[in-house]
Structure 1
Amino acid sequence: MIRQLESAYPVCDLGLLSLLKEPIPIIVLGAGYGYNEELPPLNRLNITTLGRLAEAVRIYKALPDAKVAGSAGQITQPISQAQAIAEGALALGVPPSDTLQLRGALNTWEEAGKFVARFGKGSKVVIATDAIHMPRAMMLFEAKGLQPIAAPTNHHIKTEISLTLFDFLPSTASLRKTELVMHEYLGILWAKWVLL
């Protein structure tokens, strides 16, 4: 089930992307962070957000005039997740003039809405998010009238699957993967029944 979600979109091809002769923002969808003034910006991002940001910066370096947009709001933290992502981009060498913040969104649907409010319907956008989350993200961004380009990252399935006896034994890693798959499929159903 993970492979089915993760294989829906290939890794972003920088060669094909560079053929587009227009600046395209790269949005890093929020996935969590923890604010601590004593930690440097990259250490504040959780591992999922950090992987998404790394993919965005990889693409940014290959595209002239690109911008990296941090996304997502805040509930209990002193700064928004969008700001935390932007600070992480700065730490990776993206100049301040090439970072954006789309604050206030609490989920992917709202992140797409914030992007439309800033750039307008019909805009192209590169979405940096987990490969397992990409089908839902693309569906929601398209539903908002955008032209998203997938940049999947943080793949859970990295090699060909060859099952062994140990794969059928319960483990916490398997429970986590089951949780991720169920979260995405339920999110897709919710989007189709309620949002779209």
Structure 2
Amino acid sequence: MTYLNPISIFWMFILTAFILHKLRKKKTSKIVFIITITCLFLSTVTPLPVWLIHNLEQHYPVYKPSGNERLPVLVLGNYHADDTSLYPSQKLSAQSLQRVTEGVRIYKLQSSCPITFSGFAVNDKISTGKVGSEAAVSLGVSPKDTIILPAPRNTYEEALVYKKRFGTKNKFILVTSATHMPRAMAVFEKLGMKPIAAPTGFLIKEGTKESVYNWWPSSMKLFYTEAAMYEYSAQLYYKWFK
């Protein structure tokens, strides 16, 4: 996500404006500077970042089981740290932990079911799928119900590996972050599978005293901007090239 970091882009534009100014292209420099400040304003002050994230997160509702379904669960990976001093749940990134705990919640609602954890190995050590599985077991999942897909490095590879192993006939519950869910569902469905969305890790949560759509400057809005830029650009990439 680094290449879409708004702070990095901001400083690149500021540097460009400075170089243009030194080259005596003052009018162009001024235009670049104004564009930079406008983008920074939109990214940190306006409600736009909140709207962009909320728009992604509202595609699918929170998963609630219907009837006596006992469907397999697939928990998509994110990242983890290879810190041997930490327990599995503590090694996981915030997004990975949210996905694992949602998978465990669904597992317990269904009175156990096959639950698959995907994710590649960081630095060629233990895979995120393996760490996610260990964290789930520590939260009450039976080891015999866990399946690990340690090879996939991105959403498209996760879909390909899952399809190769389990086919396309049966429905399954797909667990991932709410912002990532629209892209994940599109990828799995395009490959002929039948996922049921179970989003988690919602960034925008209603119900507080103040409206989430406010005009207060916030570093969190900058984070929302970065997350939204990544997801929308990734959606376009998958649409055009996958």
Q: TM-score, normalised by structure 1?
A: 0.90
Match of 2:160 among 113, 122, 138: 113
Structure 2 residue 138 is the aligned partner of structure 1 residue 91: yes
Cα displacement (A) at 1:124? 1.6
**C-alpha distance in 1 between matches for 2:60 and 2:132:** 24
8 Å contact from structure 2 (residues 204, 212) kept in 1: no
Q: Between 75-84 and 174-183, report the one with greater CA deviation.
A: 75-84
Matching residue of 1:53: 100
Supply the AA of the counterpart residue of 1:10. P
Higher helix share: 2
Residues 77 and 46 of structure 1: CA distance in aligned 2, closer, same or farther (over 3 Å): farther
**Which residue identity lines up with residue 178 of structure 1 in the other structure?**
T
Give, in angstroms, the shift of residue 122 of structure 1: 2.5
Q: Please, which of 40, 43, 60 is the counterpart of residue 9 of structure 1?
A: 60
Do 1:35 and 1:77's aligned partners in 2 also have CA atoms closer than 8 Å? no
Q: What residue identity is the alignment partner of 1:106? A: R
Who is 2:116 aligned against?
69
Q: CA contact under 8 A between 1:34 and 1:77: conserved in structure 2?
A: no
- Residue identity in the other structure for 2:55: Q
> Partner residue of 1:128?
175
1:28–1:71 contact (8 Å) kept in structure 2: yes
- The alpha carbon displacement at 1:77 in A equals 4.5
Q: Which residue in 1 is equivalent to 2:36?
A: none
Residue 73 of structure 2 aligns with which residue? Answer: 26
2:156 maps to amino acid: W
Amino acid in the other structure paired with 2:174: I
- Give the structure 2 partner of residue 146 of structure 1: 193
Q: Which runs of 5 or more structure 1 residues have no equivalent in the other structure?
A: none
Taking structure 2 as the reference length, the TM-score comes to 0.74
With over 3 angstroms needed to count, the CA separation of the structure-2 counterparts of 1:95 and 1:80, relative to structure 1, is same
The SS at the match of 2:59 is coil
**1:179/1:64 Cα in 2 relative to 1: closer, same or farther (>3 Å)?**
same
Q: CA deviation at 1:163?
A: 3.5
Q: Secondary structure at the match of 1:76?
A: helix
Residues 127-167 of structure 1 deviation map (CA, whole Å, 9 limit, x = unaligned): 1111111000000011111100000000011116453441x
TM-aligned CA deviation for residue 37 of structure 1: 2.0
> Which stretches in structure 2 are left out of the alignment for 5+ residues?
1-51
Q: Amino acid of the residue matched to residue 64 of structure 2?
A: D
Higher-Rg structure is 2
- Report the secondary structure of 1:37's partner residue: coil
Query: Once the two structures are aligned, what percentage of the paired residues are identical?
Result: 38
CA distance in 1, matches of 2:166, 2:227: 31
Q: SS in structure 2 opposite 1:84?
A: helix
CA separation in 1, counterparts of 2:215 and 2:199? 30
Distance (whole Å) between structure 1 residues aligned to residue 135 and residue 152 of structure 2: 19
Taking a change above 3 Å as real, the CA distance of residues 176 and 77 of structure 1, as seen in their structure-2 partners, is farther
Report the RMSD for the aligned CA atoms in angstroms. 1.5
